[in-house]
Amino acid sequence: MSILIREIRADGTPGQFMRFMQALAGEKGWDWQFETVTEFSREVFQGAAAVKVASALSAEILPQMKVLPTQVRAVQVLDTFFPEDGSWYPRVLLHEALRMVLVAEARDLDIRAPAFVIGHSEEARVVASVLALMGISDIYLVGESAGLEEHQQALMRSHLGIHFHILPIDELTMQAVSAGIVVNTVDLSGQQALLTDLSYFNYMKGTGYALDLNLLSLQNLLLEEAEKAELRVLHPVLVAEALTRLWLERLRPEHNLSHEDIRESWTRFLKQNSSSV
């Protein structure tokens, strides 16, 4: 059966996840069609089975929605629309995917230790929310202070009792705390100073976890440094695989792809594509 998947991105070009889904559909012989549009309107739902949304458009799109699911309302971020009972609802699948990965791969995460979230994108806000729901009560939002205040306020409203601290990037290596996990959401290509600061890892516990959400085609320098520091590395392909499964559950529930099959498809795709966008 042919299905149509649309994506909303301001620059009109398909994002990395949609390019992967297109490659996967071609690989498996699925009759899936893909379209990219630059603006949100109700017309994007017509004839579509799903709509992918660049999360940077959340602040523009969410005020137009009458009903917000709990997760979306809590973080004020969306990345997807799926139809349900004849209506279209915004979703934030990254939230669910991250939680799946942490529950499966970081069972002994020390929730008494603080966490560091690097960046002030919508993805960073989602990461901070997931860590709060995992039980971590001290979460440091690391980046430019001006860009983080909005995230801090939104998170404090939806996660009562959790301390969200704003931390300027240049103060990261001066911290006396030892974090149980650091999650980076910043594209570090061309940001050598930030990469160098992050790579000290003197702000981490020796048994802590490091996760970089950037799916890079070539080497991931941050995670390589994390391995040298003997931290436990969570590769971004784990998150990509979880996201893919969430999509397939909705669009092709009869698929017989294992977790390993999806990870291998992602690895092939990343090797074939030099762009990390």
CB 22 within 8 A of CB 34: yes
pLDDT in tens, 71-90: 999 999 999 999 999 999 99
Structure tokens at 267: 């690895």
Q: How many CB atoms lie within 10 A of CB 27?
A: 11
Query: In whole angstroms, what is the distance from residue 161 CA to residue 177 CA?
Result: 20
First to last CA, the chain: 30
Across 196-214, average pLDDT = 94
pLDDT at 175: 87
pLDDT one-digit tens code per residue, 137-160? 999 999 987 779 989 999 999 999
State pTM to two decimals.
0.94
Domains of the chain are 3-92+238-272 (3.40.50.10860), 96-234 (3.40.50.720)
- Concatenating the DSSP letter of every residue in 176-220 gives ---EEEEEE-S--TT-HHHHHHHHH-TTEEEEEEEEE----SS--
Q: Which of 165, 77, 88, 160 is nearest to 126 (CA)?
A: 77
